[in-house]
Chain A
């Protein structure tokens, strides 16, 4: 690098402009690929964008903190977007009320399965105690999951990573699971995605169908609250502590 270019780089790498720009560019590229693939779930835009960004930041030796000083402006919008989920929920409310029974029992069964199976499978394959506790809240949205992990003695930052991976697995895998089950009802598909894989699953559901999206949003909110109540009660018993 000539001195001039490295000077520019020093300036750019310290300003939020770069982090924000590369986030939008990476997502735009990922979304383009996703659309080119015919909205194939394997071409999940979060997965592609995150992979590209991690590669870029590693190659340019940029720290995550520096990157986040710019990317936080995008991150911040998660709050208002979560609030905005009330609108599709309102639009679909008639259908939600008609499905009250399936919603209540689906939520209970799904929430318990998410927590218990994550801990038991982790334990069976030799995960440490603190890792098992970090796994327990992995199906709920990041802020709730981190709060739960902290309360039960897991590692909150590890939980945050596990939550993201869970979201991507659900967003990528759901269609294949439901097609294999011959399940077509967009409400049930959406609700199950929301219980299993929170906001990332909900984002995918919205790209497929508005009714799926509304049910996913509902499931995400309900499962967050239920898991927060449930996990502290059963965590000790589950991990054998």
Chain B
């Protein structure tokens, strides 16, 4: 578990350093994910330890959002001032995004480009 955690942290660190030094719009951990993905492609897959540790981390990914989510208490008054437009905007937009993304993907899947086997 320690070696797997170290590997994850090293990739996060590299991602963080790259994102900052190159002034990229993507945060360090997302870049770290990409780099680890590339490393896995080169190496031909994760070892058993990395696989288990990442599974354990991801199984309770929800937990990791709880501290940031609780930060809502600091901004309750600001949200309360404009609650109606905010709520409607978030509801409509999130549901519309789900529908549009899924429909677009379904359509692309059904009509393969000419000359491509379906």
Interface residues of chain A, those whose CB is within 8 Å of chain B, are 23-24, 26-27, 31, 44-46, 49-50, 53-54, 57-58, 64, 67-68, 71-72, 74-75, 77-90, 93, 99, 101-103, 105-110, 113-114, 117-119, 121-128, 131, 135, 138-139, 141-144, 147-148, 155, 157-158, 160-162, 164-170, 173-174, 177-178, 181, 183, 185, 188-189, 191-193, 195-197, 199-200, 202-204, 206-207, 213, 217, 219, 221, 224-225, 228-229
Interface residues of chain B, those whose CB is within 8 Å of chain A, are 5, 8-9, 11-12, 15, 25-30, 32-34, 36-37, 40-41, 45-46, 50-51, 53-55, 57-75, 78-79, 82, 84-86, 88-106, 108-109, 112-113
B104: A residues at CB distance < 8 A: 102, 105-106, 108-110
Q: Contact: A224 with B93, CB < 8 Å?
A: no
Total contacts A-B at CB 8 Å = 316
Contact A78 B26, CB 8 Å, known A84-B57, A138-B93, A178-B98: no
Interface centre among A31, A75, A161, A185 (most CB of B within 10 A): A161
Q: Contact: A181 with B102, CB < 8 Å?
A: yes
Q: Contact: B97 with A196, CB < 8 Å?
A: yes
- CA of A81 to CA of B78, assembled, Å: 31
Q: Contact: B79 with A161, CB < 8 Å?
A: yes
Cβ-closest chain A residue relative to B45: A90
Contact A81 B91, CB 8 Å, known A89-B33, A157-B75, A191-B105: no
